[in-house]
Chain A
Amino acid sequence: MAWAGDSGGQASGSSELDAVALVRAVETQYQGERSHGKMRMHIKTRSWNRMLELEMWSEGREKLLTRILAPVKERGTCTLKVDDDIWNYISRIDRLIKIPSSLMGDSWMGSHLTNDDLVKENKVDKLYQLAITERVGKDVTITGKPLPDAAVVWGKIVYKIDTASLTPLLVEYYDEEDVKVRSMVFSEFKQIEQRWLPMIARIVPEDKPGEFTEMQYLEIDFSVELPRDLFSIKSLRNR
């Protein structure tokens, strides 16, 4: 969870730890003003075991573009997210479709991330009330309770954050009866352009033992220049 000057987080070393800033930093760790990277996604469910290689670009929290590099059969398939809308471009048949709201609950690319996660994942600080609930050395536990009117399904989200490097160790999602439904585990921390980032994030559904989605960043670049109309339907075709 690196912060960079752009996200306006606290400088490390300050004695006052702001829960909101910490969480915001964690949730936007892979973004910045702009980013461009490559990652490998390993999806294991009870029925299959897949490896995908993806290239991704992002701008702020609103825009995201992903493109499949491997396996070859799916190479060129893209997902574009602009604000709350998602489009998929399917390279094999050279066609574009917009994902309707009724499918937001569906998994993205067969992983344990849902389309909705892509859309909402960055708004935690706006939808939850965050407070530090535990401190062990430089590791801090922040518990987020949803604001009364927030349209989120979780009962609470718990973050374990290393305040020294401002990286997340663990994020756990609970339902309203305090039963853990999902967790994200982070590892392999590296420093890139003055941020510390976990290169590996693994999503584990608690009610499906043995299943997980693991995303491993191969490269990530925050100082890249992105073309103007990158995040548009037209450019989907040309990628």
Chain B
Amino acid sequence: MMILRIGWRNLWRNRRRTQLTMGAMIFACAMLVFSLGYYDGFLWSLINNATEKENGHIFIALPGYYANPTLEDACPEAISSQILPDVKAEIKGVCPRLQAYALLSCGTDEENRTQPAQIIAVDYQAELANSKLAGDIVTGGFLTGDEREILLGQGLARRIRADIGSEIIFFSNAADGSIASEILLVKGVFSSGENIRDSSLAIMNLKAAQQLLALDGRVHSHRLFLRDPMQAEEIAARLNASLKTLEATPWQSIFPQIADILKVWLGVQLFTVAIYYAAMALITFNTMYMAFLERMHEFAVMQAIGLTRRLLAVLILSESIIMATASGLIGTAIGACANFILFYHPIDLSRWMESITWGGSSIQPILFCVPSLLSNLLPLLAMILLGFAVAVLPTWRLYRLRPVEALREG
């Protein structure tokens, strides 16, 4: 204990030097924590966009449906009986979906514009509770359960020259082969971030679509939203064990590019830490070493009056570790604060750029960080390690020290 106190006091004997060195370490540590948080935010945002918005973390449908969606391959709307209670606990919510192709037409008899579109039918309450689909609305509002509502993708609305309140003719084949037709009113226009998709996508209410397409009580897929998205593969496997005719697919199988990045993510993080670490080590090492050399006389005196080399080494080590740890704690705290702030209040960069498609998902123009245990712990550990590392050479010199010579050096 006393060693620590002495160590601490020694640090402050040369205030300027300690302040400067600690300042550098705190800054580097904070920056490192922030960088890790930023990368995490980037990845999170990528995954979220692929999953939270629309697809969910697990996709349940008839086997082979995802690759080859056809109207007739529908499954029952009620599947909760097929899910075991322990799996249910991991599920935050479920969004049932229906998918179809239809002709959408807008305009008068003489002057109408007709476009084929993919139709997604959703349970608006489930979507509001679980997915971020409603957040894509740019004009008008989201579905409110009225039977004759439809939402159009921005590109689609432009192509058929439809606006809020426009009448849209819906024309398709129902699941029993009969003609499915309806007049729907545009309730809102959305932009999903992928322009090509938006030019042929429309969203309507599940109940209305079920009636229209002769699929009462049936849906094409269930999108599960999990409490922990990273567990998707494992939970999907558990589900597959208990589902009889349906198949559960985790998001990692649907977006392999993102799953791949995840695999190397730890590597990328360690690489970043290593770079910062190397820079810091170089800078602080010399500081410590010089400080040590400066105090050789003092160490010699201490040895002469009986302090064992071992205790002295501990002293040096403790000074170094205390400084590193203190810097690490403060730096991590600052970086973590920055991460938290940007997590709850991300900065919107959409004035300067649009979103970019990436591996099936898209990168959004926001500055967003995710605070995590790892992004806080790694830098802290690196700092402590640094503390040990920079003490090595001085300690080694210490063991070669000859008190008498050192005393003479004065």
A233 B109 Cβ-Cβ under 8 A: yes
B175 A109 Cβ-Cβ under 8 A: no
Which one of A47, A97, A109 contacts B103 once the chains associate, using CB atoms below 8 Å?
A97
Given A48-B177, A77-B179, A90-B181: A97 in contact with B72 (beta carbons within 8 A)? no
- Give the residues in chain A near B72, CB-CB below 8 Å: 46-47
- Give the residues in chain A near B105, CB-CB below 8 Å: 95, 97
> Closest CB-CB distance, B9 to chain A, in whole Å?
82
B262 at the interface (CB under 8 A from A): no
The residue on B at minimum CB distance from A88 is B171
Which of the candidate stretches A98-106, A120-128, A163-171 sits at the interface with the other chain?
Answer: A98-106
B169 at the interface (CB under 8 A from A): yes
Binary flags per residue of B112-140, CB closer than 8 Å to A gives 1, else 0: 10111000000000000000000000000
A118–B176 Cα distance when bound, in Å, is 23
B173 A110 Cβ-Cβ under 8 A: yes
- Give the residues in chain B near A48, CB-CB below 8 Å: 175-177
B298 at the interface (CB under 8 A from A): no
> Closest CB-CB distance, A212 to chain B, in whole Å?
13
A98–B71 Cα distance when bound, in Å, is 23
Binary flags per residue of A44-73, CB closer than 8 Å to B gives 1, else 0: 011110100000000000000000000101
A228 at the interface (CB under 8 A from B): no
B178 at the interface (CB under 8 A from A): yes
A97 B169 Cβ-Cβ under 8 A: yes
The residue on B at minimum CB distance from A111 is B177
Which one of A47, A77, A100 contacts B175 once the chains associate, using CB atoms below 8 Å?
A47
A74 at the interface (CB under 8 A from B): yes
> Closest CB-CB distance, B160 to chain A, in whole Å?
11
B182 at the interface (CB under 8 A from A): yes
- Give the residues in chain B near A90, CB-CB below 8 Å: 169, 171, 179, 181
Which one of B103, B109, B175, B183 contacts A93 once the chains associate, using CB atoms below 8 Å?
B183
> Closest CB-CB distance, B76 to chain A, in whole Å?
16
The residue on B at minimum CB distance from A233 is B109
- Give the residues in chain B near A77, CB-CB below 8 Å: 179
- Give the residues in chain B near A93, CB-CB below 8 Å: 169, 181-183
- Give the residues in chain B near A96, CB-CB below 8 Å: 109, 112
- Give the residues in chain A near B71, CB-CB below 8 Å: 47
Given A88-B171, A93-B182, A97-B171: A47 in contact with B114 (beta carbons within 8 A)? no
B181 A92 Cβ-Cβ under 8 A: yes
> Closest CB-CB distance, A215 to chain B, in whole Å?
15
A203 at the interface (CB under 8 A from B): no
A206–B72 Cα distance when bound, in Å, is 20
Considering only residues 174-190 of chain B, those with a C-beta below 8 Å from chain A are 175-179, 181-183
> Closest CB-CB distance, B337 to chain A, in whole Å?
55
A98 B114 Cβ-Cβ under 8 A: yes
A95 B169 Cβ-Cβ under 8 A: yes
The residue on B at minimum CB distance from A236 is B109
- Give the residues in chain A near B179, CB-CB below 8 Å: 74, 77, 90, 92, 109-110
- Give the residues in chain A near B109, CB-CB below 8 Å: 95-96, 233, 237
The residue on B at minimum CB distance from A107 is B173
> Closest CB-CB distance, A117 to chain B, in whole Å?
17
A110 B114 Cβ-Cβ under 8 A: no
The residue on B at minimum CB distance from A234 is B109
Given A97-B112, A97-B114, A98-B112: A110 in contact with B177 (beta carbons within 8 A)? yes
- Give the residues in chain A near B110, CB-CB below 8 Å: 233
> Closest CB-CB distance, A92 to chain B, in whole Å?
5
> Closest CB-CB distance, A77 to chain B, in whole Å?
6
- Give the residues in chain B near A233, CB-CB below 8 Å: 109-110
A43 at the interface (CB under 8 A from B): yes
B177 A50 Cβ-Cβ under 8 A: yes
A100–B113 Cα distance when bound, in Å, is 9
A96–B103 Cα distance when bound, in Å, is 12
Given A100-B114, A103-B116, A233-B109: A45 in contact with B177 (beta carbons within 8 A)? yes
> Closest CB-CB distance, A192 to chain B, in whole Å?
30
A102 B116 Cβ-Cβ under 8 A: yes
Which one of A50, A102, A103 contacts B178 once the chains associate, using CB atoms below 8 Å?
A50
- Give the residues in chain A near B115, CB-CB below 8 Å: 100
Binary flags per residue of B151-176, CB closer than 8 Å to A gives 1, else 0: 00000000000000000010101011
- Give the residues in chain B near A95, CB-CB below 8 Å: 105, 109, 169, 181, 183
- Give the residues in chain A near B177, CB-CB below 8 Å: 43, 45, 47-48, 50, 110
> Closest CB-CB distance, A203 to chain B, in whole Å?
15
The residue on B at minimum CB distance from A89 is B109
Count chain B CB atoms within 10 A of each CB in A46, A71, A90, A109 and give the residue with the most: A90
- Give the residues in chain A near B171, CB-CB below 8 Å: 88, 90, 97
B169 A73 Cβ-Cβ under 8 A: no
- Give the residues in chain A near B176, CB-CB below 8 Å: 47-48, 50
The residue on B at minimum CB distance from A50 is B177
- Give the residues in chain B near A237, CB-CB below 8 Å: 109
> Closest CB-CB distance, A68 to chain B, in whole Å?
8
- Give the residues in chain B near A110, CB-CB below 8 Å: 173, 177-179
- Residue contacts A-B, CB under 8 angstroms, 6 given: A48-B177, A50-B178, A93-B181, A97-B112, A103-B116, A109-B179
* B interface list, Cβ under 8 A from A: 71-72, 103, 105, 109-110, 112, 114-116, 169, 171, 173, 175-179, 181-183
13 further interface pairs, Cβ-Cβ under 8 Å (given A47-B177, A90-B169, A233-B109): A47-B71, A47-B72, A47-B175, A50-B177, A93-B169, A93-B181, A95-B181, A97-B103, A97-B112, A99-B114, A100-B115, A102-B116, A110-B173
Q: Can you list the 4 inter-chain pairs with the closest CB atoms, starting with the nearest?
A: A47-B72, A48-B177, A110-B177, A97-B105
